[in-house]
Amino acid sequence: MKVAVYPGTFDPITNGHIDIIERSLRVFDHVVVAIALNPRKGPLFSLTERMEMVQEATRGLGDLSIEPFEGLLVDYVRQKKGVAVIRGLRAVSDFEYELQMALMNRKLDRHFETVFLMPSEEFSYLTSTIVREVASYGGDISQLVPKGVAEKLTARFSRGGKS
């Protein structure tokens, strides 16, 4: 079985993330959506909330699992017996950072590949940061994230931000 790991903060999961997950499932037998703890980023949602949103948004998509992770990605991929790390590339501006990370991961462990997938054009501009920003000003995010995520974002910002 060919296992791929799709790591990210997913704060929150967007339709662009879901697009990448769907594309990954066409190539790999099983995809692990690895949700990074990443307190340095100061996530809006807790790890538990992010995991719940990803589970709800990906229900029925195929053979995937949603798990938390922290530490070195290469260690996690090894533990999962992964053959690849999935990374989304929206624009040229993503490429330099993602290339550096892929090369570092290869230096640390040559036993898996980094696979770059481009989202559908309609999601090429979409980031969790942009979604949070639009939601914070009461903008319409219904076309950017799954319905349950939009509801959680709206509720979070109507309560005054982070809780």
Q: Do 57 and 65 contact (CB within 8 A), yes or no?
A: no
Question: Which pLDDT score is estimated for 161?
Answer: 56
Q: Would you call 128 a catalytic residue per the annotation?
A: yes
In-domain check, residue 103: yes
In-domain check, residue 151: no
In-domain check, residue 80: yes
Question: Which pLDDT score is estimated for 39?
Answer: 72
In-domain check, residue 110: yes
Sign of the dihedral through C-alpha 141, 142, 148, 152: positive
Q: Which of 10, 71, 61, 69 is nearest to 31 (CA)?
A: 61
What CA–CA distances, in Å, run from 138 to 10, 71, 151?
Answer: 20, 35, 12
Q: Please report how the helices 147-158 and 128-136 are oriented relative to each other, as an axis angle in degrees rounded to 10.
A: 50
Q: Do 12 and 153 contact (CB within 8 A), yes or no?
A: yes
C-alpha 76/C-alpha 82 separation (Å) is 9
Question: Which pLDDT score is estimated for 56?
Answer: 97
Q: Would you call 41 a catalytic residue per the annotation?
A: yes
- H or E element: which one contains 163? none
Q: Please report how the helices 47-58 and 147-158 are oriented relative to each other, as an axis angle in degrees rounded to 10.
A: 150
- pLDDT block averages, 10 residues each, the chain of length 163: 97 96 97 90 92 97 96 96 95 85 94 94 90 95 96 88 52
Question: Which pLDDT score is estimated for 162?
Answer: 54
Question: Which pLDDT score is estimated for 93?
Answer: 76
In-domain check, residue 142: no
Sign of the dihedral through C-alpha 77, 78, 79, 81: positive
Active-site residue (options: 23, 24, 30, 128):
128
Number of domains, the chain: 1
Question: Which pLDDT score is estimated for 38?
Answer: 75
In-domain check, residue 144: no
Q: Would you call 17 a catalytic residue per the annotation?
A: yes
Active-site residue (options: 17, 87, 152, 156):
17
Question: Which pLDDT score is estimated for 104?
Answer: 95
Question: Which pLDDT score is estimated for 21?
Answer: 97
In-domain check, residue 115: yes
Spell out the alpha helix ranges (H) of 63-127.
73-79, 92-108
| CATH number assigned to the domain comprising residue 42 | 3.40.50.620
With vertex at residue 65, the alpha carbon angle to CA 60 and CA 68, rounded to the nearest 5 degrees, is 135
Question: Which pLDDT score is estimated for 24?
Answer: 97
Active-site residue (options: 41, 111, 147, 162):
41
Joined tokens for residue 34:
């690895």
In-domain check, residue 146: no
Domain range holding 107?
3-124
Q: Enumerate residues 6+ apart whose C-beta is below 8 A from 122.
A: none
